[in-house]
Amino acid sequence: MTASLQCTAITKQFQSQVVLKEISLELPAGECLVLLGPSGCGKTTLLNIITGMHQADGGQLRCDDEILDDRSQGIHQSMQRRGFGMVFQDFSLWPHMTVAGNVEFGLKIQGVGSRERRARVMQALEQVQMTEFADRRPTTLSGGQAQRVAIARALAVRPRVLLMDEPLSALDARLREELKSEIGTLLKETGTTAVYVTHDQSEAFTLADRVALMYQGRIEQLDTPEALYARPSTRFAASFIGASNVIPYRQEGDRVTLRDRHDMPLPTHAIPPKGHLVVRREHVVIEPVGEGTRHLNGHVVLEGVCRRRSFLGDRHEILAGLDGGLEIRGFSQHPLRPGDPVAIRFPGHGLHVVAD
């Protein structure tokens, strides 16, 4: 039942603004793809082309072997015929129907018989733990409960693909956390193919089999969450994902110069002559100058000054300032104070480079 999706060189323009620039991706059946990226990068536009709300200007959209959208062939299948489930940010439940009525509606449209309808409504409500609310009106539900019903409604029709646009963004932080994991479990249990739009990295990392990181109408990187985190392929990916230091460098022989100023031994071999060094915050150790610096065992050490400290419970996050305006974020076990001189250590394993 669940299907694969394929976008080939999809483009979309609104007036003179090109919003999607040749988007190509393949989503195998049963996978969850998260479209992640900053506001305005084109996530919702791409999702709307998949739902059928918009038609692409160029390129092709396929679901299994069926062409849903291809302007060059005059094909644009209607939203209704696509058989996709949709969940949006604003729940959009019908207020005049009960919870069960909302979930049942799509099944009636599909012509499912009344006995099976009842069974599938109860099964869908069970999946989102909302059975005891079956007879309630949507207006009497909390935001989290309403969104659960919206998910049940979308799943009850056994959609070929489930499309979700920022479904958690209207909920408070605790509920977001809770529903995020529940959606993840539900997608895996039902084996549903899903496309999920968010600008929230933790949602993307929890739910995605693969993340399409979008920027300015393009897919910047399409990868598993782990690969995106460990091996960002562009400067944008490196700075958008995780709390990273992204520092311009030039290489000369066995030395590199950071920001044209801070010289250090070549941290890793075979790097391009110039680019950006990416060092995750958790791989940078910041210590008071003095005792700590004597035990650094040949690691790269730079010197700076503590500018800011945030206490994280088990450690401190330090923002260190270096000559020439370079700032480096890292962790410390020491309660450093602003103004304290610090040694900054980059252990070799946490370093990665991206081209300019």
Ligand X SMILES: Nc1ncnc2c1ncn2[C@@H]1O[C@H](COP(=O)(O)OP(=O)(O)OP(=O)(O)O)[C@@H](O)[C@H]1O
Mark 150-189 with x for binding to ligand X (rule: CB under 6 A) and - for no binding.
Answer: ----------------------------------------
Q: How many residues bind ligand X (CB under 6 A)?
A: 11
Choose the binding region for ligand X from 42-50, 222-230, 256-264, 281-289 (rule: CB under 6 A): 42-50
Q: Which of 162, 163, 133, 158 is nearest to 148 (CA)?
A: 133
The answer to whether 3 touches 161, Cβ cutoff 8 Å, is yes
**Interactions with ligand X, residue window 3-22 (CB under 6 A):** 14, 19
Smallest gap from Cβ 35 to ligand X, in A, equals: 8
Binding to ligand X by residue 37, rule CB under 6 A? yes
Smallest gap from Cβ 84 to ligand X, in A, equals: 18
Name the residue nearer to ligand X (CB basis): 14 or 94: 14
d(CA 224, CA 229): 9
Name the residue nearer to ligand X (CB basis): 36 or 306: 36
Question: Element (H or E) spanning 154, and its range?
Answer: helix 143-156
The answer to whether 331 touches 282, Cβ cutoff 8 Å, is yes
Smallest gap from Cβ 47 to ligand X, in A, equals: 8
For residue 10, how far is the Cα from the chain centroid?
20
Q: Which one of residues 148, 199, 345, 352 is an interface residue with ligand X (CB under 6 A)?
A: 199
The answer to whether 34 touches 198, Cβ cutoff 8 Å, is yes
Q: 166: alpha, beta or left, given left = phi > 0 and alpha = psi -120 to 50?
A: left
Smallest gap from Cβ 214 to ligand X, in A, equals: 7
Neighbours of 80 (CB within 10 A): 9
Binding to ligand X by residue 52, rule CB under 6 A? no
Choose the binding region for ligand X from 40-48, 132-140, 173-181, 186-194 (rule: CB under 6 A): 40-48
Q: 135: alpha, beta or left, given left = phi > 0 and alpha = psi -120 to 50?
A: alpha
Binding to ligand X by residue 41, rule CB under 6 A? yes
In the chain, how many H helices and how many E strands? 9, 21
Choose the binding region for ligand X from 41-49, 170-178, 246-254, 292-300 (rule: CB under 6 A): 41-49
Contacting residues toward ligand X, per CB under 6 A: 14, 19, 37, 39-45, 199
